Amino acid sequence: MKKLLIGFFLILGSFARADEGMWFLMFIERLNQRDMEKMGLQLTAEEIYSINNHSLKDAIVQFNGGCTAEIISKDGLILTNHHCGYDAIAELSTPEANYLKDGYWAENKANELKPKSLFVRFFVRMDDVSNRILSKVNSSMSEAEREKAISEEIALIEKENNEGGKYVVSVRSFFQGNEYYYFVYEDFKDVRLVGTPPESIGKYGGDTDNWEWPRHTGDFSMFRVYADVNGQPADYSNDNVPLQPKQYLKVNTGGVQENDFAMILGYPGRTNRWMPSGGIEQNVKFAYPAWVEGSKTGMDAMKKYMDQDEAVNLIYASKYAGVANYWKNRQGMIDALTEFNTAATKAKQEAKFNKWANKKKNRAKYGKVVSTINNYYALTNEKSRHDNYLQQLLRTSAFGTISRGIGKELLAYANADETTRANGIASLEESINAFISEMYLPAEIDILKAQLKLYSSKSTGYPLASAVVDMNGDFDAIIDDYFAKSIFASKDKLVAFLKNPDASLVSNDPLMNLSTNLIAHLLTKSPEVEKAQNDYTAAYRLLVEGMRKSKLATIDYPDANSTLRLTYGKVRSLPTDATNDAAVNYYTTMEGLVKKYKADDPEFDLPSRMLDLYETKDYGSYADKNGYMPVCFLTDNDITGGNSGSPVLNGKGELIGLAFDGNIEAMAGDVIFDKELQRTINVDIRYVLWLIEKYSGAKHIVDEMEIVK
C-alpha cells in the first residue's frame, strides 16, 4: 500500500485542494463557499457561522478541553467518541458496576450520571486583532520583551470581551505569531453520562486496529448538558435542567455513497505544517524515538498490574489508552516521515526560500532566517532526545509531578494562616482523595523505578544532579526507601498532615524533592540554548512571513491549535493494493466486524448479544438499502487529534457520522498533507443508532433525536 505514496510530499501550497485545510468559520464565505457548493454544500456561510443568528457552530462544542462533541437534541443530548468519554466512564465505574466494561444506558434523566469534573465549551464569536497586537511590538525587541508586550495587550482584550466573567476569552496567535484572533466561549460544567456501549464495542480492535483501516469500532458515547432554570451555566445541582440549545443537529439515516459531500466541524489540536526541515529531522531521529521508548516503558509497568486486578485496570485505563495512542502515533510518524524523506523535501523548499531571502531587497530582514533555524536544531537535537525521555517519566508517573500538584497544595496549606486553612481544607481533602484514588501504589513504585532506569541509561550529556541518578542505577532500594519515608505514599499520613500541618514535612519529603529536581532539570536551559531559542523564535516567525510573502508556500489556513475549524471533502475510498475485508474500500460492515471476532481476546471479543443479532440479521431500520449493517466509512477530510468526536455532516448540515481516527498511511499528516491517501475514519451514524436502539434497548434516546432520510 505504501508504495503508492511516492512523490506525494510536494510543496503544500502548490497542490492545495478542497479537502486540504482546517478553516476559520468567519472566512468560509470568502475562501471556501464556492468550492463547497460545487462539491455539494446546500447551506449558506451564514447558516454555518453567524454572530447574530443561530447557526451550525452553536451545535458544536469542545468536550472537556480535548475532544469535540455535538448537540443532537432539543434537550442538550451530546454525542462524542467513546475514547473521549473514556476517562469519565472509567471514573464512574466500579468493579461491581463496571460501565466501562459492560456499558450503561440511563433509563431516564434521573439516572444520568455526573462525573466529578466534566465541561463543554460553546463557541460564541471570534475576531481579528492582529493589527492591534502587532502595533505594540517592533523588530528591536527581544522575544521576552515582545512576549511581555503581547501578553499585556491580550489581557486587555480578554477583559474587554468577557462581560464581567460570563465568557471565557482566549487570544491565540497564528502563522507563528504573524496574526492574532480572539475567541469568546461559554462553558457549561454540569455534564452527565447518558450512555455508552461496552468497551468491547466502543474500543473494538484496541491498539492493534488503532490508526488502521479497515475499522469496525463503535467509538461513541453520549452525555447531556444541564443548566439552571434560566438556561445559564451552573455548577451541578439536582435543580438543574437539560439545556435547551440554540441549535442542534438533525440525524440523517439515508446512508453514504462514495463522492458524497462531507463536512466536519471540530477542535483540531495541533498541526505543524510550517515546521522547518530541521524540526522534522529532530523529531524523527531524536525526540520521537525517545517518546516511543519512554511510553512503552510506562505502559508495560501499568499493564502488569492492570491485568491482575479489575479495580486497578479502571484506575489506569484512561491513562494507559492515552499513552498508547501517542506511542503508536509517534512510531507511525517516524516510519512515514523517514520513508518519504519529508525533511529533505522541506529542505529543498527552504533552499528556494533562502535564495529569495538573500536577494538584495530581502536580505536585511530574511537573509539569516534559514541558517538561524538550522543552528538551533543542531544545538538542541540531543537535548530533545533527553527531554522526551524525561517527559515520558513525568507523563506516566503520578509521583513525577507532585511538586506541581498535590505537593504544592500541601505547602500552601501549611504556610497559610488558620482562617485560610479552615476555608481551604475541604478542597484539599478532595485533592488528597483524588490523588489517592487515581493511583495504585505498587504500580507507581514500578513505573517510577522503570522510568528512572531508562532515563538514567539514556541521559548521557544531560545528567540529573540528583542522588537518585548518581547511585549507579541502584534504583530499587532507593525508590523503595523514598516511598517508605514519603507522606505522599500514604493516605493516613496525608490526612494526619491536615491536622498538624508542617511545611518541613513536604519540603524535606524525598518524593517531593525528586519531583522538584526532575521538573527543574527539564526546564533548565544553558545561556547558549536560551539565546538560540530566542533567535529561532524570531527566525521561524520571519520564515512563515517570508514564505507567504514570496508565494513559495500558499497555505491559506493556519496550523491547528484547538480552535474551531471546518474541513470539507468527500466520502472517498483508500487506494490500496492490499487485501482487506472492507466490503467496498470506503465502508465496513458488521460482517467484517464478526470476521475479526476472537472469543476472550482483549481487543476482538464481542458480547454474545452482538453475535446473536448478527446471526438473525436483526438490523431494524438501520440496514443499508443493500441489506448490510454499516459500521464505519472513510472521508478525505483534513483532521487531527482534537477532532475526535467531531460530527461528519452532509450538504444540508445533517449528521451522517462521527469522526474518530486517521489512517496509518498518512501518519505524517500533521506535518504535511497527503492529497491522495489522507483519510478520516468515521463511525456510521446508522451503526450508532442501531447500537443504542437494537443492541442496548435504549430506544427512548433515539426518540429524542430528529431523524431524517
User: Rounded distance, CA 440 to CA 312, Å?
Assistant: 7
**Element holding 182 (H helix, E strand):** strand 179-188
User: Rounded distance, CA 678 to CA 310, Å?
Assistant: 38
User: Rounded distance, CA 402 to CA 409, Å?
Assistant: 9
User: Rounded distance, CA 340 to CA 672, Å?
Assistant: 11
336: pLDDT strictly greater than 80? yes
Render pLDDT for 193-219 as a digit per residue (tens, 0 to 9). 999 999 999 999 998 999 999 999 999
User: Rounded distance, CA 548 to CA 546, Å?
Assistant: 5
342: pLDDT strictly greater than 60? yes
The pLDDT confidence band at residue 579, using thresholds 50, 70 and 90, is: very low
Residues in the chain: 709
User: Rounded distance, CA 613 to CA 668, Å?
Assistant: 39
Tell me the whole-structure pTM to 2 decimals.
0.90
Residue 466 confidence (pLDDT)? 63
**C-alpha to C-alpha distances, 586 to 213, 632, 689, nearest whole angstrom:** 10, 8, 20
Fold of 2-119+189-272+567-708: Thrombin, subunit H (2.40.10)
The pLDDT confidence band at residue 12, using thresholds 50, 70 and 90, is: very low
677: pLDDT strictly greater than 60? yes
User: Rounded distance, CA 451 to CA 476, Å?
Assistant: 12
**C-alpha to C-alpha distances, 47 to 58, 181, 211, 631, nearest whole angstrom:** 10, 22, 33, 30
User: Rounded distance, CA 394 to CA 519, Å?
Assistant: 8
User: Rounded distance, CA 17 to CA 25, Å?
Assistant: 18
For the chain, the domains span: 2-119+189-272+567-708, 121-188, 277-528
Work out the mean pLDDT of the chain and round it to a whole number.
Answer: 92
User: Rounded distance, CA 321 to CA 452, Å?
Assistant: 22
User: Rounded distance, CA 676 to CA 574, Å?
Assistant: 8
Render pLDDT for 72-84 as a digit per residue (tens, 0 to 9). 999 999 999 999 9
The pLDDT confidence band at residue 514, using thresholds 50, 70 and 90, is: very high
Q: Which amino acid is it at 239?
A: D
**Element holding 371 (H helix, E strand):** helix 369-396
341: pLDDT strictly greater than 70? yes
The pLDDT confidence band at residue 582, using thresholds 50, 70 and 90, is: low
The pLDDT confidence band at residue 556, using thresholds 50, 70 and 90, is: confident
Residue 143 confidence (pLDDT)? 92
User: Rounded distance, CA 600 to CA 208, Å?
Assistant: 15
User: Rounded distance, CA 263 to CA 268, Å?
Assistant: 14
Render pLDDT for 256-279 as a digit per residue (tens, 0 to 9). 999 999 999 999 999 999 999 999
* From 13-22, 50-59, 62-71, 456-465, the region with the lowest mean pLDDT: 13-22
Render pLDDT for 237-258 as a digit per residue (tens, 0 to 9). 999 999 999 999 999 999 999 9
Percentage of the chain surpassing pLDDT 90? Answer: 86
Please give the backbone phi and psi of residue 661, each rounded to the nearest 5 degrees, phi first. -165, 170
Q: Which residues have a catalytic role annotated? A: 83, 219, 644
